[in-house]
Amino acid sequence: MRNYILLAALLVFAPRLWAQQTNNSSTSASNAPGATQSDREPLPSPRPKDFWDGDDPNLVNLVTHPFANKKYVQRQIGPIRDRVTELDQITSENNRMIKDVDSRAQQGIQLASEKTSLADQHASDATNKAQSAQTAANQASTRVSAAEQMVGSLDQYKGTAQTEIRFRPGQSVLSKSAKDALDEMASPLKDQRGYIVEVRGFSPGQGQAAIRNAQKMADSVVRYLVLTHNIPVYRIYVMSMGNAAVGVSAKHPSAARVEINVLKNDVVTAAQR
């Protein structure tokens, strides 16, 4: 056994001694006088002394090297395994967080899209309502303009028919001829608008007596027009003139009579058509 150990020692140290002697001799030769730079040997690269780093293999290094120990390997690999496990956990956590953030982002995008669609719908509804309001405003403006034109033309009445009803002195009853004359005058007024009927009563005499008699005769005419021809009362204007000589009555100042004038506003009639 001792012989084997000595043989192993010789195998280990003999090459190293031989190499050291060779290097020393080379160095002396290169440093000798007359030697040039090209004749010198290059400097040897440092040789590692570890068996696993490139040293010449031998039994002693193989047996005594710590890599040959399983516990040593476990101690070296353990921290690396822990870091790898920790890195896997961090990677898994990061992936979970990324998925969570992506899910939230998708929900936010969907919610924003729904709100945008709702806002667009509200804007469209508001636009439609604004257009409807503008149309209604334009129509109202047109109607107001027409009404203003109509109101401005209300006093532009023109006489279209004039009838005179005669009465006997002191009487207010309508005769057949008087009714026929009123029928002829009132028949064309059926279903028409934009007209008024002016009724003026005249009576001979003096003062209030003449005015009362003229009022009675005018009321007889108005009563007949309202009850027989359904002419609205608001379209009839009654005036008791007494013995005043006005208009046609100036030709017959002493006659008991009622003058009926039909006045029409052509502008109002045309607008209503």
Domains along the sequence of the chain with CATH: 2-68 (no CATH), 158-272 (3.30.1330.60)
H helices present in the chain, as ranges: 2-31, 59-64, 70-152, 176-186, 207-229, 266-272
- Is the pLDDT assigned to residue 229 strictly greater than 70? yes
Average of per-residue pLDDT across 129-143: 86
pLDDT at 136: 85
Question: Ranked by mean pLDDT, which of 11-15, 38-42, 132-136 comes out on top?
Answer: 132-136
Report residue 107: phi and psi, to 5°.
-65, -40
pLDDT at 47: 55
Average of per-residue pLDDT across 72-95: 83
Confidence class for position 38, pLDDT limits 50, 70, 90: very low
- Is the pLDDT assigned to residue 226 strictly greater than 90? yes
Alpha carbon separation from 139 to 144, 152, 182 (Å, rounded): 9, 20, 42
Question: Ranked by mean pLDDT, which of 66-80, 187-201, 254-268 comes out on top?
Answer: 187-201
What pTM was estimated for this model as a whole?
0.42
Q: Are strands 236-242 and 256-264 parallel, antiparallel or unpaired?
A: unpaired
- Per residue in 162-215, pLDDT (tens digit) is 889 999 888 889 999 999 999 999 998 888 888 899 999 999 888 888 899 999
* Strand order through the sheet with 158-167: 158-167, 256-264, 195-202, 236-242
pLDDT at 29: 47
